Amino acid sequence: MRIKNVSIDYDTIAERYDELYGLEQSGKNLAASAFLYGKETVLDAGCGTGLLSVFLKGSYYICLDLSIGMLEVFRSRRRCLCDAVMGDINMLPFRDECVDGLACITVIHEAPGSISGLARVLKLGGAMVLGVKERLLREPLKFPMELLVEKILESSGDTLYVLRRVG
């Protein structure tokens, strides 16, 4: 039931999302892009309107979101080598080790247990950037052993982590 509510909530504001949160999200996406730039394939898990795609023009960009409204906005505005996929970060519809880079910005507080699933699709040597609103976490983050974790930014209640798949 919670997943359906999240989807409906974001469908409702999809057309105005960039106007409401674009500036805040763009700063986090710019920081994330420094670790994802040059990656061949990047999955943006919980992509919203796909703001990160602006910074990753040379990559094949996969925009995954629960909200069909957000994905429709992404499709109408973005011009990049990309795919839009409706899906849930708790049940990623991708094979193991299929992406070089992964972003999950301001989403993981909804599903902190999904980090292992995100790591599953990341290739060995790949980089994942997690953006977390710490105050919204319902349980502590759990990082799988095969990920090297580095905190790269703390600002206005947001924390960005870079996780590298090492084995």
Each residue's pLDDT tens digit, 88-100: 999 999 999 999 9
Q: How many residues does the chain have?
A: 167
From CA 154, how far away is CA 49, in angstroms rounded? 23
pLDDT at position 1, please? 40
Q: Name beta bridge partners: 131.
A: 105, 160
From CA 25, how far away is CA 52, in angstroms rounded? 9
Q: Which of 63, 123, 64 is nearest to 95 (CA)?
A: 123
Each residue's pLDDT tens digit, 36-55: 999 999 999 999 999 999 99
pLDDT at position 63, please? 97
H helix or E strand, kind and range, residue 124: strand 122-133
To which residue do tokens 């193991």 refer? 96
pTM of the model: 0.89
Q: Domain 2-165 in CATH: superfamily?
A: Vaccinia Virus protein VP39 (3.40.50.150)
| Token couple for 154 | 């703390």
CB 79 within 8 A of CB 46: no
| Token couple for 127 | 């980089």
